[in-house]
Amino acid sequence: MKISDERLLELLLSCGGVSGAAKAAGMTERAVYSRLSKTEFRRRYDENRAAILENGVAILGDGVADAAAFLHTVVTDEMSPIALKIQASDAILRHNLRYVELANIQRRVEEVERRLDEAESDGE
């Protein structure tokens, strides 16, 4: 029995990838990879996967301000144990460094893209 593309997409997205989807669908991994090699199927899979990831990022983003405020409260609370203050401070510093690094990378990528667009426009 051939499984529909829609059902296989659902399984790929909910079963942790090819191996889980193959088991749930009663297919071989090779058969799943074969379906993924088809352009239209792969495009649909990639679009659905991107939508799920974007949704997850949005959900996580909603809690960032609360988490940062909580860590700040721990650091500034006179009643917080020093070890807890150190852990919270370390978390704030590590995550802030990551944010700054990512922001710098994003700025640089945008500059490269701008220059490429300019070069393409000059070449036309």
How far is residue 84's CA from residue 106's CA, in Å, rounded to a whole number? 33
pLDDT of residue 124: 66
Number of Cβ atoms within 10 Å of the Cβ of 121? 8
Q: Per-residue pLDDT for 72 more than 80? A: yes
Domain boundaries, the chain: 1-62, 77-124
- Taking the model in full, what pTM does it have? 0.54
Q: Per-residue pLDDT for 19 more than 70? A: yes
pLDDT of residue 14: 93
